[in-house]
Structure 1
Amino acid sequence: MNTPASASAVPYPASRDVQRFIDAHPLSALQIRVVVLCLLIVAIDGIDIGLAAYIAPSVRREWGLSIAELSPVFVSGLVGMMVGSLIFGPLADRWGRRPVLIASVAFFGVSTLATLLIGNVFGLSVLRFVCGMGIGGATPTAATLTAEYAPERRRLSIITIMLCGNSLGSALGGVIASQVITRFGWHAMLVVGGVVPIALLPALWFGLPESMRFLALRRPDAQPALRALARRIAGSRVDAAPGDDVVFVAAEREVTRASVRQLLSPACARGTLLLWTTFFMGLMVLFLMANWLPTILTAAGGSMRAASLTTALWSVGGTCGGLLLGQAMDRFPPHRVLALAYTAACVLIFTVGRVYATPALLAPIVFLAGFCISGSQVGINGLAAEFYPTAVRATGVAWATGIGRVGSMLGSALGGYLLAARLPYATLFAATCVPMLIAALCMSAMRQRDAGPSGDLSFNIADQRKS
């Protein structure tokens, strides 16, 4: 076991593996700062994702639009998130996590402020697309950077804590919108949505470090910076700090250029396809429920207040689920934890279709459904970040997220179609169980040694945990 005490007794070798160095030390102030800054990024993402929904009723009244005429605004944002995930992920593997995160935040901050100058649906849709690109690039890159500064023993817990910032941001955005729009109008909400991310940029510029693993793998001239970062992780323990002769390495096979080809190489194609399918199914159900649950409950005879409170329980359950599932995934095989959660989600969604008219029963069931479905989506992001090695990690997480965005668009559209078909609500919720069952089967099918593209290192799920 590598401990500070043994470090003082045994001289440092000429080279040190970055991940082993991180694993040998307790969580430092530098690592906590990375997690907090990334949490703030995804929290602001959560605010901006819901921005169109917050301002839509006011925009529709002021511009005299129908619901159908306003729908391109929502669709363009989702398409932008998908495109941003697919573009920014490979760029983060080529240029670094830090510049891509800063650029992504600037993207959605500036585009949100620019919306103040727009007076038509087309312009609003274009800028929501640009904003969506920034959001689509920020979240998977933040998960990647967090994973690369986290010790292996707590990696999934730390990633899920960070990603829960998105749910917190969504909830905070609703509270802010309820106060700002009623007092100052919908334009003021755009000011909030644009100024907050721009105000975060100085903190990111001066406080967010580049990934040590990325530097060791991609920047041969970055050894002085790596040693400086390592000393900050070592903290006050002088005996644990590396000397000037230490060379940090990432003990992984480097790829010349990160691309989807590596994600589908024989070493990891199976795991990649299972992750993509799970992301697709999970986000399809998540967006279907999040967008249409209030409508279903009010159409079934419930009040708007009761529907809003019940839907809020979904979000609260998702936050709790993300935190607790992350802890479980660090202690047990993560794919098995997720398979169990998705299986429970099937049962819970089916039950919602049987008790939707009974508020006393519906509230706890919706909370538990949010726990399993939203919580699993946080968990699967953490699993994707752990699955891929450094050279293609951002690409892998971003592509999985991008594939999931297609599912989110389908889920949003599918909910409207199922409601328009006037299916019995019990049948509608029973149909929604099918994607969750597929996700559960995908996680159950993850092999104990589904390795990443390097094929020779530890980003294989079972190597790090007892089955």
Structure 2
Amino acid sequence: MELRERIRNGCMTGLQFRVVLICCFLAVLEGYEIIVMAFVAPTLATEWSLNSAAVGLLFSAGLLGMAIGATFLGGLADRIGRRNHILGCLLFGSLGMALTGMATDMTALVAFRAFAGIWLGAIVPSLNTLVSEFAPDRRRGTVMGIFGVGLPLGGLVGGLATGLLIETWGWHGPFFFTALLSMIMFLVVFFFLPESVEFLITKRPAGALHKYNRIAGQLGLPISRELPEIEVVDEGRSGIGVIFSGVYLRRTIFLWVGYVLLIATFYFANSWTPTLVAQATGNAADGRLVGSVTGVGGILGSLGFAALSARINPRLVIAGLMALGLPTFFAFAALFDTGWAMLATIFVGMVTAGGVVAFNAIIPHTYPTAVRGAAVGLITGLGRIVAILVPLLMGYWFAAGASPVLTFQLYGFVVLLAGICVFVLHRTYPSRDAAPAEDFSSIEPEQTQGLRIKS
């Protein structure tokens, strides 16, 4: 049995569990780094006397970097490999977080946060893609759901740890702490994370056969004298252009629109909810607690997605999860300044953070291997652009006196529209692809006849 076939059609092995575990730890770290400013903002706003517009600028600075990183550096993984890409992002990301903690004025803080964001934005597509490529076809939704727990778990652990870090070292502490953790994970990745088999076969970098055989040996497969043939599949288009042709064009439209709508909701909820609750209660600790509880909801949503994906098509699971958004946000709007806010926040986390995890599960294998990193980078970058605008515009929105209650209600409709997009996306697949626990990465022959992707 060829290695690629063993990974796709076999059971999970120790090597595959190791890849998922390492990427889960990285996702926990990245999940915290992405939203750390939301936890620090209440304290920083008090110490530096920042208004809502300035806080929104801080949120958007990191997101601007993430958009740049995902859009322009995400595709670099298709050239240098997923593993090397992750290593580079960890190295420079650690530097960016350390510099952010050293900032002494608003200008430096915004600049360093944006620099750190570049590497945060670039690494997430590689993590999603690597886990997806090491997961068996029929359990990819479940594996990706479990992996996706890392992002909301990072928010949960980070929210609980941030208070202690701020009490000990001030607002600088969380940034120094994450910089240290990034360097530790750099060493873990260097010594224990293998390269993507799909990348080795498709791109054939120097030493590809040796790396391929080393992975095969760990799975008990015989040594190969040459790499397997490249699976080819395009029709007049090469490279990234394939995602804008044929059936891929329709899927790209519905996938991207749905993702953008959810990302807008996610970054509004995760950036502004802690601050709005802190302002409503007059206690910054309440804001941090709400941020942590959102992480709990995200974990529950991720695990629920993983469990349901074993029996129901992952796209339908996402559509159902998004449908919960309307009643969830209306309930939170009515309760956010009361003692019931924590309970409502759990459901907000299930819909937003859990929804992002679910989207990340279906995105990579919507596209062919040769352009997967670039495609994931593009959609992630598009989401980051929206994520830049949302916290910033919300800052001006609230500074102008907008009602938090009305705002949460409006976002309920936004996330509902995201679910409708995913449902329509699901309809672009043949009925046989809608079976439970199916391989949602499959490429239908009748839709890709004559298709060739040039690497």
TM range (shorter): 0.7 to 0.9
Q: Secondary structure at the match of 2:246?
A: coil
1:213 aligns with 2:198: yes
Aligned partner (choices 61, 64, 75) of residue 60 of structure 2: 75
Q: Secondary structure at the match of 1:359?
A: coil
Deviation at 1:129, TM superposition (A): 1.2
Deviation at 1:295, TM superposition (A): 4.3
1:92 aligns with 2:77: yes
Aligned partner (choices 20, 36, 52) of residue 21 of structure 2: 36
Q: Secondary structure at the match of 1:210?
A: coil
Aligned partner (choices 360, 364, 371) of residue 343 of structure 2: 364
1:222 aligns with 2:222: no
1:293: which partner in 2? Answer: 273
Distance 1:305 1:403 in 2: 33
Q: Residue deviations 1:408-449, cap 9 Å, x none?
A: 233323433543454555533321122112211101111445
Q: Residue deviations 1:372-406, cap 9 Å, x none?
A: 22211100011102211211111122211111112
1:438 aligns with 2:424: no
2:124: which partner in 1? Answer: 139
| Aligned AA (2:421) | C
Distance 2:190 2:317 in 1: 37
| Aligned AA (2:407) | L
2:247: which partner in 1? Answer: 267
Flag the 1:245–1:396 CA change in 2: closer, same or farther, 3 A.
Answer: same
Distance 1:68 1:413 in 2: 7
Distance 1:215 1:255 in 2: 24
Aligned partner (choices 325, 332, 335) of residue 352 of structure 1: 332
Contact 2:56 2:392 in 1 (8 A): no
Q: Secondary structure at the match of 2:148?
A: helix
Aligned partner (choices 339, 352, 360) of residue 373 of structure 1: 352
2:448: which partner in 1? Answer: none
Unaligned 5+ runs, structure 2: 431-438, 445-455
Distance 2:312 2:125 in 1: 24
Please say which of residues 88-97 and 169-178 is displaced more in the overlay: 169-178
2:134: which partner in 1? Answer: 149
Distance 1:116 1:183 in 2: 14
Flag the 1:384–1:127 CA change in 2: closer, same or farther, 3 A.
Answer: same
Flag the 1:428–1:106 CA change in 2: closer, same or farther, 3 A.
Answer: same
Q: Secondary structure at the match of 1:119?
A: coil
Deviation at 1:302, TM superposition (A): 8.1
Contact 1:343 1:440 in 2 (8 A): yes
Deviation at 1:52, TM superposition (A): 3.2
Contact 1:259 1:395 in 2 (8 A): no
1:335 aligns with 2:309: no
Aligned partner (choices 387, 390, 394) of residue 408 of structure 1: 387
Distance 1:115 1:33 in 2: 32
Flag the 1:51–1:267 CA change in 2: closer, same or farther, 3 A.
Answer: same
Aligned partner (choices 23, 42, 46) of residue 8 of structure 2: 23
Contact 1:60 1:70 in 2 (8 A): yes
Flag the 1:116–1:436 CA change in 2: closer, same or farther, 3 A.
Answer: closer
Q: Residue deviations 1:59-87, cap 9 Å, x none?
A: 55666665645654332211000110012
1:110: which partner in 2? Answer: 95
TM-score for both structures, normalised by structure 2:
0.85
1:428 aligns with 2:413: no
2:258: which partner in 1? Answer: 278
Distance 1:56 1:302 in 2: 14
TM-score for both structures, normalised by structure 1:
0.83
Flag the 1:266–1:60 CA change in 2: closer, same or farther, 3 A.
Answer: same
Q: Secondary structure at the match of 1:446?
A: helix
Please say which of residues 42-51 and 433-442 is displaced more in the overlay: 42-51
Contact 1:226 1:248 in 2 (8 A): no
What RMSD over aligned residues (CA atoms) do the two structures have, in Å?
A: 3.1
Contact 2:53 2:399 in 1 (8 A): no
Q: Secondary structure at the match of 2:228?
A: strand
Distance 2:414 2:101 in 1: 39
1:455: which partner in 2? Answer: none
1:385 aligns with 2:364: yes
Flag the 1:54–1:310 CA change in 2: closer, same or farther, 3 A.
Answer: closer
Distance 1:207 1:432 in 2: 42
Higher RCO (C-alpha 8 Å, min separation 6): 2
Unaligned 5+ runs, structure 1: 1-11, 235-240, 452-457
Deviation at 1:247, TM superposition (A): 4.1
Q: Secondary structure at the match of 1:248?
A: coil
Contact 2:43 2:284 in 1 (8 A): no
